[in-house]
Chains A and B, each alone.
Chain A
Amino acid sequence: MSTTTTESKQKRASSNAPTPGLEVKGPAVSKQMLDGAQALVKGLEREGVEYIWGLSGGAAIPIFDAIVTTGTKIKLVLVRHEQGATHIADGYARVTGRPGVVLVTSGPGATNTVTGILTAHMDSVPMVVLTGQTISPMLGKDAFQEADVFGITMPVVKHSYLVKKTNDIPRIVKEAFHISNTGRPGPVLIDIPKDISSAPCTAELDPPMDLPGYNPVIPVDKARVMAIAEALRKAKRPVLLAGHGVLISRAWDSLRRLAETLQAPVTTTLLGKGAFPENHPLSLGMLGMHGTAYANKAMVECDLVMSIGSRYDDRIIGQAPKFCKDAVRIHIDIDAAEINKMIRVHHWCVGDAGEILDELTQHVQRLDTNDWLNHLNGYKKKFPLKYKKYGGLKMQYILDELDKLTGCNAIISTDVGQHQMWSAQFNKTTRPDGWLSSGGAGTMGYGFPAAIGAQFAKPKDQVWAVVGDGGFQMTMCELATAALHKLPVKVLVLNNHYLGMVRQWQELFFDNRESGVNLEGNPDFAKLAECYPGAKGFTLKRGADIRKILKRAMDYNDGPSVINAEVEKADNVYPMIPAGRAIEDMILEAPKYKMEKPTGST
């Protein structure tokens, strides 16, 4: 059970040098001198935390104070809205593979994190959220700034704690980080009443964990791997479907070895972008609702599909009963609850993607896929992603140029909507940490703060936030955070003055009746950026200026830049599989007849 993990974790922790603050005072003295909040900060130090993103408030003052009194090296970054803190932590976590840490106060401070927690939960992102809480005697009495955050967040966390005893803090912090970033990662919330964080902490600072119900280490089931290898041997038209799990498991090299050994094509989900280089000859790019035609056609025609670390979600499978219905379906996932959830599979293996792929690669040889690959290459030639360079300024044109200028080597963080899908299509991801997007939750306002988090994690890398005018306005207050920390995040606002994806649906399925989609009254985003000291604003209106303006933003590295790109107002994203329809129903261009209303939700 979890004792093995506990022991190994303890060994690792005890082999580390003691935390600097403690070394001087000696453990016995420091124990007496610490309060709960200081013990909390010591716990964060032990976990190797570099940054805390937060916004202060009454119930969290002892914790903010402890950041000062402990003299910790952890850097506190004051954000402008708590949602921003969670998305920044999320972006940092996706790029580094380490949990992002958020610190906020009780009540509204805590509830403002809910969207960010949901976003992390849906996309399996490790995050630890610390929330202040009213003093324990006042719990449940509607005290000022009291909210039942433990209850409110319960459905969107991997686990959560309401701390009742100060001496539990060191253990809880240790458990929170362990839970957050092992197995299938996710957000963990620790709600800390102010009297608990203020009281003296006399507990051992590196206590054993107490998690008898949690065992994230799953040994590879070799019999299951052999069954998968056997199925692969018989396949003539296999497709490997790589999801976020490949990235979380850091299994991109293992995946590549398997794909190259088999000579099997690889498609990725939106969140799997980066799991397999999109400029590789075996890459089919992204599949799904707005995926490439060739990836989706491959799903229709394949005789075997093997998902590695994706959850066969509704954006991918379209209509569950029709999805790869005649193919052998295989699922590799670390979460047993994902197996047979969306579709029934013939073979599956639960565990770490990298370990399973490495074991599997030992038992397979090159498949006879020449005909299949030639066939798919034919589709690539026949149905390429395309757009018109002339006429109105197209988002696709800008993104295509961005891809060329950055040599697909930048980190791209997107918001949600049309620009997100076009960016997924045209910004080829070749590095495992090169793509950040809110996939499961589809959170507008994610892109810009997540880019800030990525920039904190990789100060020297080029980070682009590709956002729409709708989503950007939800979290653009973090321009202050980016400017203050001189982060050279480049924000590309693809401004069509619309909530474009909804407008597209209204055009296609609701007789073009626009309702609640017109963003009249947008500010001039370039001018707005210039209001923040150190931030630069650019305006892009013509195709001829794309390269020039993108380069100017690339050359400015003393703070954030915002490009306000005035793009064509009413363009539509294709290919498209209407929600709830089968992949076979994919349309490649504007339909000539009125389409039925989709049966799927969105």
Chain B
Amino acid sequence: MTTSIANPHIAQSTGNHTISVYVTNKPGVLARIAQVFARRGYNIESLVVSPAMDGQFSRMTIGLSGNPEGMEQIIKQTSKLIDVLRCVDHTDEDAVTKELALVKIGAGAGQRAEVLQIGEHFGCKTVDLTDTSMILQCTGNSEKIDALIGMLGKFRIIELVRTGKVLMARGDGLT
């Protein structure tokens, strides 16, 4: 009989969450936020911190996995921190989410053409090319990057670096 209480700041979908936190650019902010998540047993999957348009503030985009039941608490406790101005849980519907990946592939002359073909399909740029290797740069949502990596699986992937997700609210919404 308990009424379910919907919080507009909480994405209703379960599973992985992407949270955007707008904070004052002061020492210790990241540690305080990380502590809220760690104490509740949440694992930070990805984390991007960069200066906001107003250099006094920073933007953090945090990819999380953990119990969706507790997300409401996490958002409230993060919002409560003195240095946090805003903490919003976004879904794919209300925000544009992108990440960037660099993939270094061991590919000599024999394999290069096929790798480039796959890269072209995914809109990748070739940002480094040697006799034995190449680096592809791919941007897009996480599923697209996962698909690219899947396709490249038959080659020798030497290294893979992903930036983690960044997002921006669609339309007039505030990130």
Contacts and interface: CB of A to CB of B under 8 A. Distances in A.
A150 B28 contact: yes
Interface string B72-98: 110011011111110000000000000
A159 interface: yes
A162 interface: yes
B39 A155 contact: yes
A154 B28 contact: yes
B31 to A, nearest CB: 6
A211 interface: yes
A212 B31 contact: no
A214 B82 contact: yes
User: Which range holds the interface residue count of chain A?
Assistant: 20 to 34
A161 B85 CA distance: 18
Contacts of B3: 344, 346
User: Which range holds the interface residue count of chain B?
Assistant: 20 to 34
Nearest to A327: B1
Nearest to A213: B85
Contacts of B24: 210, 212-213
Nearest to B31: A154
A160 B73 CA distance: 22
B35 A337 contact: no
B112 interface: no
B27 interface: yes
B85 A344 contact: no
A151 B39 CA distance: 15
B76 A162 contact: no
User: Which has the most chain A C-beta neighbours within 10 Å: B28, B39, B57, B81?
Assistant: B28
A160 B83 CA distance: 10
Contacts of A212: 24, 57, 85
Given A154-B28, A155-B39, A336 B76 contact: yes
A335 interface: yes
B2 interface: yes
Nearest to A210: B24
B23 interface: yes
Contacts of A234: none
B174 interface: no
A341 interface: yes
Contact of A344 (B2, B83, B84): B2
Given A213-B85, A344-B5, A346-B3, A336 B27 contact: no
Interface of A: 150-151, 154-155, 158-160, 162, 164, 179, 210-214, 326, 329, 335-337, 339-341, 344-346
16 contacts: A154-B31, A159-B82, A162-B27, A164-B27, A213-B24, A213-B82, A214-B82, A326-B1, A337-B73, A337-B77, A337-B79, A337-B80, A339-B76, A340-B72, A341-B73, A344-B2
Which 4 A-B residue pairs are closest in the complex by CB-CB distance?
A: A337-B76, A344-B2, A213-B85, A159-B82
